[in-house]
Amino acid sequence: MDPAYKYLRALKNVVLALLVVSLILGVLHFPYDVDAPLTAEEVKAAQKYYTEAYQKPVTASKEESEYETAYLRVAQFAAEAYHIEDRVRKFVKRFNLTDRPVLEIGSGRGYLQDIAQNYTGLDISASVTRFYHKKFVLGSATALPFPDDSFDGIWSIWVFEHVPNPEQAFNEARRVTRDNGVLFLFPAWNCVSWAAEGYEVRPYSDFGLGGKLIKASIPLRSSMPFIWMHLIPNRIVRSLVSFVEPTRLRYHRLTPNYEKYWVPDSDAVNSIDYHEALLWFRSRGDECLNCETASVFLQYMPLIIRVHKSTK
C-alpha cells in the first residue's frame, strides 16, 4: 500500500475521531440553562452573604476582621491586576460620560464612584452604604429601581456571574440605558464548576473517590485544546440560531459556596460565555464596539456595547 495513502487514511481517521469527540463534548457542555424564577430562600441567602462580606470591622487590631475576608482581599488584588480603574476611566473618557448620568451595577464599596461626576452605585448589600459620598441605591440587577432610559452609560465588573437570572439583568441594563447609550460589561466569563469546593487549592486527602477524580481531571478540563473542542462548536451553533431571532441567554447554572470562599468565583451562580453574551446583544440590534471579527474564538475581555433600541 502506498505510504502516502496510508498516511492520509490515518490522518482522516484522526480528524474523524476528533470531530466525534468534539461533538460529544459539545453536547455535554452545551449551555442548556436559562433564567428561572428564584425561591425566597435563594434570594435571602445571596443577600445575607454579600451583606456580611462587606461588614464593618469591629476591631482596630491587626487581626483579620469580617471586612478583611478572603473575598475582599481577592477582589482588591484582581482589580489591581486587571487595571479595572484605568479601564473604566478610559471607557468614561472615550464616550464623554464624565458629567452624564452613569450607573454601576454591583458597585460594592464604590471604589469607582469618583470616575464620573453624575454617578449612581447599585448593590444588593445594605452594608456598603457607608462607603459612598455619591448616590447609592440598594437593589438587585434583575429589578433596577430606575425609569426607562435613565443613563447614558453603565458599567458592571465581575457581577453578572453572581446574578441568578443574568438574562433578566441584561434586559434591565438595556431598559435603563438610553438609545445609543453604552455598556461596559466585564463578568467573570466561563466560571468553572469546581471552584465552589476549591478543588484546585485543596489537597487530595480532603476528598472521597469522586472528589479525587474531579481534582485529577482539572488540568485536562482547563487546557485550551479541551476548551476549544467543546466551546467553538457550541459557539457556531449558537451563532446560526441568533440569525433567526433574538436569542435567549444560555449559560451553565452553578451551585455557589456561601460558606467558604476557596478561590475566586467560589460564590458564582452561573457560567456565562463571552460569545453567548455578545450574541444576546447583537441579536437585539445592539453593536459591539470592541469585538474582533472572528468572535467564535476565545475572548475573555470586557464587552463594550452600544444600545440601539430603535432597531429591535
Q: SS3 letters for 54-76?
A: CCCCCCCCCCCCCCCCHHHHHHH
| 282-295 confidence digits (pLDDT tens) | 999 999 999 865 57
Number of H helices, E strands in the chain: 8, 9
**What is the model's pLDDT at position 187?**
96
Distance, CA of 58 to CA of 213 (rounded, Å): 42
**What is the model's pLDDT at position 68?**
47
The pTM assigned to this predicted structure is 0.86
**What is the model's pLDDT at position 61?**
42
Residue with more model confidence, 20 or 30? 30
143 phi, psi to nearest 5 deg: -150, 70
| 110-169 confidence digits (pLDDT tens) | 999 999 999 999 999 888 899 999 999 999 999 999 999 999 999 999 999 999 999 999
**What is the model's pLDDT at position 60?**
41
Is 15's pLDDT higher than 80?
no
**What is the model's pLDDT at position 26?**
75
| 73-93 confidence digits (pLDDT tens) | 777 778 888 899 999 999 999
Judge contact between 150 and 23, C-beta under 8 A.
Answer: no
Residue 245: band (very low, low, confident or very high) from pLDDT cuts 50, 70, 90: confident
Judge contact between 26 and 230, C-beta under 8 A.
Answer: yes
Joined together, the cell numbers standing for residue 248 give 435567549
Residue 28: band (very low, low, confident or very high) from pLDDT cuts 50, 70, 90: confident
Number of CB atoms found within 10 A of residue 128's CB:
22
Domains with residue ranges and CATH for the chain: 35-224+241-306 (3.40.50.150)
Cα atoms in the Cβ-side hemisphere of radius 13 Å centred on 99: 0
Number of CB atoms found within 10 A of residue 117's CB:
13
Q: Mean pLDDT, the chain, as a whole number?
A: 86
